[in-house]
Amino acid sequence: MTRFESEQGFTLVEMAAVLLIISILLLLLVPSMSDGKSRADSVSCEGSVRIVEAEINLYYAEHKAYPETLAVIERADTETPLEYSCQSLTYTYAPTTGTLIKQ
């Protein structure tokens, strides 16, 4: 018996099969991970909008009127004081009702 006959290892075919299985599992996993990221961004944006709405309500509680623009509570985009941007979404502020409307 030679030295090489007693050693056991993986053949090239076995290694290729393992790599194929791993790559198939990764192909199934990657799309679900990217979908989860977009959902997390959406949830984060909704949370930010609720915070801005709470600040609008606090302003109303203190002044008995809604703010004229979002710049008053320091949440507006500098160019458009009636818009709030979060991720890729834009919300328009309605000063008469104190609500943010998704565009």
Per-residue pLDDT of the chain (103 residues; tens, 9 = 90+): 566 566 677 889 999 999 999 999 999 888 777 777 778 888 888 898 899 999 999 999 999 999 998 888 888 776 788 888 887 788 889 988 888 888 8
Residue 25: the pLDDT is 92
Which sequence spans correspond to the domains of the chain? 13-102
Is 66:97 a contact under the CB 8 Å cutoff?
Answer: yes
Give the model's pLDDT for residue 60: 93
What local confidence, expressed as pLDDT, does residue 58 receive?
A: 93
pTM: 0.63
Contact assessment for residue 91 and residue 49, using Cβ atoms and an 8 Å cutoff = yes
